[in-house]
């Protein structure tokens, strides 16, 4: 596996490979990798000739009181996981943004609610960093996890709106054996708080079970009320049922929908989501 730290050198290599007709696969991450990340690499590996994974903790998507400085890092362990997944090039930039970087990319509408409502810098930071990464890596296909369902929808809209010739694939959400959605931030949870965090997946599963029982035409509020009874947040952010493509609320569940949940347990922000199928 090749290690690269220079954005311009990586871009030159990517352009050379594209000129040769190679299909470039890309998985952008912030590191502290787990099985959820490597599952995305597996998907990308099957879709490309040259697979690039980036590890960069992007400061633009963190608010002033968030965990940028203490965000978990494990560069040696991450490199081993990437090598094991068949990654060709691991990109860990030392200097990512030019000193006079002054351009931002924003997607309106899809970023207004959910995580975007409580983290105003978040999605602008994501779309800006991903746009620059796309320019450097020149991918034919990029894989993002469905764990961050709103982010996946935002990236797809950005790629469509800016006519980027990139196929965006969503990788299934991966759960730990206890049902908790895998996340680099799970390491912040004490055993007691981790147990409470299982209320996220528990609420979503309960909503699906109730929908299966009542069938198409069930009101979203009926399902949401049932889910809220199970959630055990210290600080509740959102629980909503939306159209999977537009992220608009669905008051009546008459077709496949997506339930999204987010909040804080002991200062750790957790999110989860699940398809709801009548």
Residues annotated as catalytic are: 37
In Å, what is the CA distance from 7 to each residue of 54, 63, 94, 98?
A: 11, 25, 9, 10
Tokens of 223: 């399902």
- Residue 253 CA to its chain's centroid (Å): 25
Backbone angles phi, psi at 218, to 5 degrees: -65, 140
Residue 261, both tokens = 């949940």
Identify which of 214, 277, 270 has the alpha carbon closest to the alpha carbon of residue 250.
277
Q: How many helices (H) and strands (E) does the chain have?
A: 8, 11
Which H or E run contains 150?
helix 149-161
Q: How far is it, in rounded angstroms, from Cα 120 to Cα 61?
A: 9
* Dihedral angle sign, alpha carbons of residues 16, 18, 22, 23: positive
**Distance, CA of 203 to CA of 229 (rounded, Å):** 8
């Amino acid at each position: 596996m090749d290690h690269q730290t220079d954005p311009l050198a990586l871009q030159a290599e990517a352009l050379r490979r594209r000129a040769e007709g190679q299909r470039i696969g890309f998985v952008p991450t912030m590191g502290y990798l787990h099985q959820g990340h490597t599952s995305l690499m597996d998907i990308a590996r099957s879709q490309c000739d040259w697979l690039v994974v980036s590890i960069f903790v992007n400061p633009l998507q963190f608010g002033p009181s968030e965990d940028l400085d203490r965000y978990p890092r494990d560069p040696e362990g991450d490199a081993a996981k990437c090598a094991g997944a068949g990654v060709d090039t691991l990109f860990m930039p030392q200097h990512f943004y030019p000193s006079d970087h002054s351009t931002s990319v924003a997607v309106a509408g899809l970023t207004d609610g959910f995580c975007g409502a409580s983290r105003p810098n978040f999605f602008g930071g994501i779309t800006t960093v991903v746009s620059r990464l796309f320019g450097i890596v020149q991918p034919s296909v990029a894989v993002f996890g469905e764990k961050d369902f709103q982010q996946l929808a935002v990236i797809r809209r950005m790629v469509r709106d800016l006519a980027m010739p990139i196929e965006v694939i969503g990788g299934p959400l991966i759960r730990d054996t206890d049902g908790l959605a895998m996340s680099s931030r799970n390491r912040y949870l004490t055993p007691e708080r981790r147990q409470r965090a299982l209320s996220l997946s528990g609420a979503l599963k309960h909503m699906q079970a109730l929908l299966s029982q009542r069938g198409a035409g069930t009101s979203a509020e009926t399902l949401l009320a049932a889910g809220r009874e199970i959630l055990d947040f210290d600080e509740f952010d959102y629980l909503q049922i939306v159209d999977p493509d537009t992220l608009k609320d669905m008051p009546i569940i008459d077709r496949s929908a997506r339930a999204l949940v987010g909040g804080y347990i002991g200062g750790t922000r957790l999110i989860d989501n699940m398809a709801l199928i009548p």
